[in-house]
Amino acid sequence: MKRYISFRDFDWILLGFVLAICAAGVLEIYSATVGTKFAGAHLRQVYWVLGGCFVMFVVSRVNYHVLLDQVPWMYVVSVVSLMSVLVFGQKDPGARRWIKIGGGIHFQPSEWVKLVLILAAAKYFADARQRELTVGDIIKAGMLVGIPMLLVLAQPDLGTSLTYLPIALMGLFLGGLRFKHAMAILLLGAMMAPVAWHVLKPYQRERLTSFMQPEADYHGSGYQVIQSLIAVGSGGIWGKGTGHGTQIQGSFLPVPQTDFIFAAYAEEHGFVGALALLLLYFVLLMRLVQNAQTAPDRSGTFVVMGVVAVVTFHILVNVGMVVGFMPVTGIPLPLMSYGGSSVLFTFLALGIVMNIRMRRFVN
Amino acid sequence: MPLGRDEKVPQLRLTAVQYGILGIFLILVFGLWRLQVVGSDYYSQLAEKNRIRNVPLLAPRGKILDREGRIIVDNYPSFSALLLRDSSRNVLNDVDTIAAGLHMDPDEVRDRVKKFAFTPQYQPIFLKDDITPDELAFIESHRNELPELETIMAHRRLYPKGGFMAHLIGYVGEVSEDMLNSPQWEFYSAGDVVGRSGVELSYNDILMGKNGFRRALVNSRGKEVGRLDETPAVPGKLLKLTVDIDLQIAAEEALGDRNGAIVAMDPRNGEILAMVSRPVFDPNSFAVRIKRADWNRLVTDDDHPLLNKAIQAQLAPGSVFKVIMATAGLQEGVAQTLQVNCGGGGNFYGRYFKCWVVSEHRTHGVVGISKAIYQSCDVFFYTLAEKLGIDRIAKWANLLGLGQKTGIDLPNEVSGVMPSEEWKIKNFKQKWYAGETISVGIGQGAVAVTPLQLARAVAAVTMDGKLQKPHVAFPDELAKYGVQNAAKIQSETLVPIDPQNWETITDAMAQVVEPGVGTAPSAHLNGIDFAGKTGSAQTMSNALAKRIGRRVRDNGWFVGVTPRRNPEIVVSVLLEEGEHGYLAARASSQVIKAYVEKQRARQNNQNLYRAAAAPGMEHLPVASEAVLTAVESRDKAVPTKERRQLLAEIAQPERRPDAAATAGLKPVLPSDEFFEMAGFYGEPDPDGHGEALHAARFKVILHPQAPVGMAVGR
């Protein structure tokens, strides 16, 4: 086995796309926060991105098989940390999501659990030696992802808990889910929906429904949706120009630098700009899938595809929310939305992908 | 079958994932296309509505001046509380807080919000007008908690105190929904303040300005962050009335607290010089928003305080009608030779008609036309009426303008009634009975006139038949403002009256106030050629009086002129339940006296007036242009130091011009090189809202060059 791996095999093209998206994000964060109490956020975002790059390079040197071997106890630590958040976490209006570490740093475990789940699912499905999954496999995989999901849901953080779901679905699909089992899962999901509805908090229900009829509650939960639609729609084909988005600059769309960064971007850069950005994301994802194909083994493919699933889901839910197709769930847009946890998670995940790519010829 | 560790994930499934991602992205692109390409215009409008707020700039109404340029109706700055609906808040949640702070009923606030629910959202709702300083402070201190509350400075009407000239001026109010549905008001919108009666109504188009608006950029908290453009408000125009404040004061004082009306007119051109009606109302209570209880009290009052009795009371004229009878009798050639022996009454058509004189236990004896007028002999006019017949009486009464509207430029004038055979058949489907003519002969029966009609008719007789159309505005002033048919408010009709008949009647009218001769000797004015005719009219039949168990006293009438022929002024007085015509005559004489004295004072000061007349001035001013110049040339009107103090005072909302300043408009006749008067002058408002007004007394210095005024204290 050849021990040497080289940065010559590092996916510089992928990194190029990633940094292009980050640049657009930093620019829009600057435009959205200049003159507000969040002014300077774009600089912090730059630091996060640089830190992310550093983390990515470091992680890319770590053999992913080592990580996969450590997955069992990482999974246990994850579940324990999620439980401790429920017990000791900081109340962030109505929900416990953060643990104060000290020194002003807040730790949000649910973001890192995502990564652990990607690895855990990859290990689980790669180790399953059957061409097709049995019902027992499906149930075990469901529990693997389901336990952390329920813990996050209890925080309550519906949005983040939903981001775990595509990891399981992607694993099942690639792991050889039979058609009748897929149908059974869908049916079960449909039957569970009314039960889940009852479990949800009223504000969560409101968010889930208000996107369909935002005018019904103009001044309540529908406000953000309406203002986001106005921002995007009024951007038109060519946009209003950086720093000239009236919805953003007049702060009609509240806190646009985080979850609604895409609305801000679409207002100022129009349909053309938004299309270009989506194209960047699409190329990025296709590049990731290509990396999955060239992965040296099954587990590498599953890890990369897990990342693809999570990133795609984030884009779908976030952009879908901005254009009014999806409810407001508080899911950030990867690489663009302001926030350290999200940036670091993405780069960490990309670092693992890089490692898998660099090992494509290693056997 | 077990898989090897290195066996790859099937390529087909990875490709399927790629297509899945493509599908997701196409859906997202479709969402963007739907909003940004298809819905772009719609959302752009919404975005504009978000950030642009229209702030109305209210136009002040035009001032109303008297014929000499003295201010009768002015404006004062007052603050209104507005409710903005284009902010991002649900205002209904704050109703209770707002209502408490503004001392309003929460339901009233909700009702107003509902009432304006269908007007465009960017239009603010007027919550409360003329707010007090503590309510203003409440709004200012809750800018953050209640960003939807806003204040606006408006110019409000400041009317003379105590109902002075109230009926003629009228009042303003919010345009009602009923009005908006009529074609006259179709271009107005809900919330507009318009004239509701009097001059305020008939000349609303001149007096009302055009509101402007400022388009301001706001952020999500409704805070102004910039200005786009401004359509300035166009203030209403000045309206100069034909009324003379000096005569108005004399008329108000002459009538006192008694119910009735006085109208003074220049019979040479129909200009109304004074118009009073009693009881009065205070139009200042309408200037803001009248309370429902106050309004109900006004409309249910039996004395009808809102009625302008000078043009809206239709009453029997009593013996004043004998002037019209005499004209008809002489012109028809019947009265010249008519001699009647008055024995206190007479039989006509089988019924005995009394002469008023029997109540004094005497008779008139042999009566000709002159004595019949100045002694007001009923028997003579019964006989004359019998000889003339109703249609010949009606012909002359109609020629003199009775039974029809005078056409004065005031709203809701009534036409009165002048009966005739045709009138009776038309209205009662009954034949006219000759016996009814007898009562008409002394101005009773079905005859009903307004004080203005009577003034006009009697004036026409004393003017050799020149019947004028009365008016309160100057046609040439209106023409300057581009009012169509402005000239039509003044017109003259000639009623053919022979000179000898004219002389007979006017000489007899002069005898009326002659001591020891006429019916109103106590109204005699020394050294003034005063002529007129008394009247006292029964307001109900004796039978009706018996039935209600109370005798309503007669109405007293008098129409007087000076001089007796081609007079300069005619004064018509109605004293409801005034009993005797001579009481009305005294009131009339007071106004006549005030007029004559003013004219004489004027003539004695010819030099002064000549000096004051600036080049191009048509009329000799008492104040007019001089005062206006004083008001407008602010630098000269008020010393700079005083100006600064005034600005500081105007900045305080609780400092309002005192209405007393206008009410106390006592005329100071020019005695020397200057005279004093009360009035208002404008100052640029410190907030940039235009002009703030301040009450002051002006000393107007008359000077060969441009007149200069200065304030002499408040």
Q: State how far the Cα of B461 lies from the Cα of B466, in Å rounded to an integer.
A: 7
* A 68-107 residues inside an 8 A Cβ radius of B: none
Mean per-residue pLDDT for B63-76?
82
Question: Which residue in A170, A282, A305 is closest to B25 by CB distance?
Answer: A282
User: Which active-site residues of B does the annotation give?
Assistant: 319
> Taking Cα atoms as reference points, which of B438, B426, B272 lies closest to residue B350?
B438
Can you name the residues that pair with B700 across neighbouring β-strands? B675, B709
pLDDT of the residue at A248: 83
Mean per-residue pLDDT for B490-505?
91
Q: How far is CA A34 from CA A43, B4, B365, in A?
A: 11, 56, 107
Is the pLDDT assigned to residue B484 strictly greater than 50? yes
Q: State how far the Cα of B217 lies from the Cα of B228, in Å rounded to an integer.
A: 7
A290 — contact with chain B (CB < 8 Å)? no
By residue count, chain A amounts to 363
Tell me which of A246, A272, A363 to substitute to probe the interface with B (most B C-beta atoms closer than 10 Å).
A246
Buried b or exposed e, range B303-334, using 16+ CB within 10 angstroms? ebbbbbbbbbbebbbbbbbbbbbbbbbbbbeb
Query: What is the rounded radius of gyration, in angstroms, for the C-alpha atoms of chain A?
Result: 21
Q: Coil, strand or helix: which one is B704? A: coil
* Predicted confidence (pLDDT) per residue in B565-602, tens digit: 899 999 999 998 877 878 888 899 989 988 988 888 77
DSSP assignment letter at B236:
P
* Predicted confidence (pLDDT) per residue in A233-254, tens digit: 999 999 998 888 888 887 788 7
B293 — contact with chain A (CB < 8 Å)? no
Test A289 with B17 for CB contact under 8 angstroms.
yes
A288 — contact with chain B (CB < 8 Å)? no
Q: What percent of chain B has pLDDT over 70?
A: 78
CB B415 within 8 A of CB B446: no
> Taking Cα atoms as reference points, which of B279, B312, B281, B259 lies closest to residue B452?
B312
Ranges A3-7, B144-148, B152-156: which has the least confidence: A3-7
Pick the residue with more confidence: A324 or A272? A272
Question: Which residue in B18, B31, B225 is closest to A320 by CB distance?
Answer: B31
Can you name the residues that pair with B675 across neighbouring β-strands? B700
Test B6 with A233 for CB contact under 8 angstroms.
no
Is the pLDDT assigned to residue B293 strictly greater than 80? no
C-alpha torsion B626→B628→B632→B635, nearest 10: 30
pLDDT of the residue at B618: 33
pLDDT of the residue at B265: 95
Chain A positions touching B9 (Cβ under 8 A) are 174, 292, 298, 301-302, 305
pLDDT of the residue at A49: 95
> Taking Cα atoms as reference points, which of B336, B416, B325 lies closest to residue B376?
B325
Q: Which residue has the tokens 């297509």?
A: B19
Comparing alpha-carbon positions, the chain B residue that sits nearest to A227 is B47
CB A266 within 8 A of CB A241: no
Report the predicted TM-score, pTM, of the whole model to 2 decimal places: 0.62
Is the pLDDT assigned to residue B95 strictly greater than 90? no
Query: What is the rounded radius of gyration, in angstroms, for the C-alpha atoms of chain B?
Result: 34
Chain mean position to CA B541: 35
Test B35 with A270 for CB contact under 8 angstroms.
no
Chain mean position to CA A42: 20
B465: how many CB neighbours lie within 10 A of its CB? 21
pLDDT of the residue at B471: 95
Question: Which residue in B25, B51, B89 is closest to A278 by CB distance?
Answer: B25
Buried b or exposed e, range A18-34, using 16+ CB within 10 angstroms? bebbbebbbbbbbbbbe
* Predicted confidence (pLDDT) per residue in B406-419, tens digit: 999 999 899 989 99
Distance spanning both ends of chain A, measured CA to CA: 6
* Predicted confidence (pLDDT) per residue in B369-379, tens digit: 999 999 999 99
Mean per-residue pLDDT for B629-649?
39
Comparing alpha-carbon positions, the chain B residue that sits nearest to A283 is B22
* Predicted confidence (pLDDT) per residue in B147-201, tens digit: 778 777 777 788 887 788 999 999 888 777 777 788 777 777 777 788 888 999 9
B1 — contact with chain A (CB < 8 Å)? yes
Question: Which residue in B16, B18, B28 is closest to A278 by CB distance?
Answer: B28
* B 17-76 residues inside an 8 A Cβ radius of A: 17-18, 21-22, 24-25, 27-29, 31-37, 39-40, 42-44, 46-48, 50-51
Pick the residue with more confidence: B713 or A52? A52
Comparing alpha-carbon positions, the chain A residue that sits nearest to B22 is A282
The percent helix, strand, coil of chain A (3-state, each to 5) is 70, 5, 25
> Taking Cα atoms as reference points, which of A279, A245, A344, A326 lies closest to residue A28?
A245
* Predicted confidence (pLDDT) per residue in B675-707, tens digit: 444 444 445 545 544 444 444 444 444 333 322
Token pair listed for B115? 């009432």
pLDDT of the residue at A105: 57
CB B316 within 8 A of CB B537: yes
CB B656 within 8 A of CB B76: yes
